[in-house]
Amino acid sequence: MNTRRTTLLIAIILAVGTGWLTLTYLSSVKPPQNAQRPVLIATQEIAARSRIVDTMFHTEMRSATSLEPDSLSNPNQAVGSLALVTIPAGAQLTSSDIGSNVAFALPVRLQPGMRAVSIPVDRVKGVSGMILPGDRVDVIAIPPSQAAGGGPPPKAVTIFRGIRVLAVGSTLENAVATPGPDEQTAATVTLEVNPKQADLLAWADANSTLRLALRSPREPIRSEPVEELTLLGNSASGPAAPPAPVAVPAVGPAAPSMPAPLAAPVMHPLPNPVEIIVGDKIVDASSAQ
């Protein structure tokens, strides 16, 4: 009997002690109703996709009960991040409203005056899926083959050199040097080009086959010149004359904004005017002669 009473007494003491410790812990974790905590408050409207700087917010002390569950208190958590949504002035900065989500970062990565243009690729055109965001590539255009008996196969030419890759598929950055499955099977590659290059790239993509050539990061961008892309124009209906070539001077990433020398004039009569595309301008060849 004495042993049972002793065991029961010890159990009661331990239960009471455990309950007291639990109550003490919960009291220390739960803040008082009038506790004040720091929180970051926007001093202006912060547009979505804009990069946050320290002048866009300040720190205030507010009641803990009025704070958002994921509100931020340390300025280092906000500076340099992107606003994923528009944050109105006076609103609390929260971890769900800001971040470094790369899916929203493409406009920020573009240099002023540059454009992002995507082209379709496969494992062959995209160098077996080994191209990563940040790499430099040359863009090769292969004109369509002529009709049977119309002469030798067309020559492939490099119309751009040293173009920066912004994204592969929907991936804008890689933490490792080896592409993952998503990058290796991506159907598009997004390139950073200037406005004139964007026009020529879209035109070449619609009228020729494009391939990418991966460059070494140790090779200067101007180590090789760009080349001129020539495509055949459309002839008029009726008695067909040999189609006239359309010369398209390529524009490199640092090339001067002047037209490249044009090909020699065609000597036979032309059924239709020939349009010569020079950068972002279209010139009637009959008026240019």
For the chain, list the domains and their CATH numbers: 36-100 (3.90.1210.10), 107-232+250-256 (no CATH)
DSSP secondary structure letter of residue 224: S
For the chain, give percent helix, strand, coil, nearest 5: 25, 25, 50
Report residue 244 as tokens. 């006239």
| Spatial distance between the Cα atoms of 143 and 155, rounded to a whole number of angstroms | 7
Strand-pair category, 82-83 with 98-99: antiparallel
> Over 90: is that where the pLDDT of 189 sits?
yes
Is the confidence at residue 230, as pLDDT, over 80? no
Q: Give the pLDDT band of residue 115 (cuts 50, 70, 90).
A: very high
State the Cα angle at 69 between 64 and 73, rounded to 5°.
Answer: 65
- Band (pLDDT 50/70/90 cuts) for residue 117 is very high
Give the tens place of pLDDT for each residue, 142-154.
Answer: 988 765 556 678 8
Strand partners, 42: 57
Read off the tokens for 264: 């020699």
| Torsion angle defined by CA atoms of residues 253, 173, 97 and 89, in that order, rounded to the nearest 10 degrees | -20
pLDDT in tens, 59-110: 999 888 888 888 999 999 999 888 878 899 999 999 888 876 554 566 667 7
Residue 37 contacts residue 73 (beta carbons within 8 Å): yes
Mean pLDDT of 201-214: 92
Average pLDDT value over all residues in the chain = 75
CA distance 272 to 235: 7
Q: What are the tens digits of pLDDT across the range 18-61?
A: 888 887 776 666 555 568 899 999 999 998 778 899 999 999 99
pLDDT band at 182 (very low <50, low <70, confident <90, very high): low
Residue the block writes with tokens 């931020």: 72
Angstrom CA distances, 275 to 6, 238, 282, stand at 106, 20, 6
User: 212: helix, coil or strand?
Assistant: strand
Q: How far apart are CA 58 and CA 132, in angstroms?
A: 38
Per DSSP, which regions of 55-156 are E strands?
A: 57-63, 82-83, 98-99, 115-120, 136-142
Q: Which pair of structure tokens corresponds to residue 232?
A: 């055949």
Q: Which of 79-83, 220-224, 258-262 has the lowest mean pLDDT?
A: 258-262
Query: Strands 36-42, 209-214: parallel, antiparallel or unpaired by DSSP?
Result: unpaired
Taking a C-beta distance cutoff of 8 angstroms, is the pair 15, 29 a contact?
A: no
The mean per-residue pLDDT over the stretch 234-254 comes to 43
How confident is the model at residue 59, as a pLDDT?
94
pTM above 0.85, yes or no: no
Q: What is the DSSP letter of 32?
A: P
Q: What percent of the chain has pLDDT over 90?
A: 30
How many angstroms separate the Cα of 72 from the Cα of each of 61, 78, 237? 12, 8, 70
Whole-angstrom CA distances from 220 to 52, 94, 161, 168, 280 are 35, 44, 10, 23, 26
Q: Are 259 and 238 in contact (CB under 8 A)?
A: no
Report the range out of 121-125, 139-143, 221-225, 275-279 with the highest average pLDDT.
139-143
Q: Is 50 exposed, middle or buried (0-12, 13-18, 19+ CB in 10 A)?
A: middle
- Which residues, at least 6 apart from 155, have a Cβ–Cβ distance to it below 8 Å? 143
Contact 273, 280 (CB under 8 A): no
Instruction: Answer yes or no: is pLDDT of 284 > 50.
Output: no
Q: In the structure encoding, which two tokens stand for residue 238, read together?
A: 């009726």
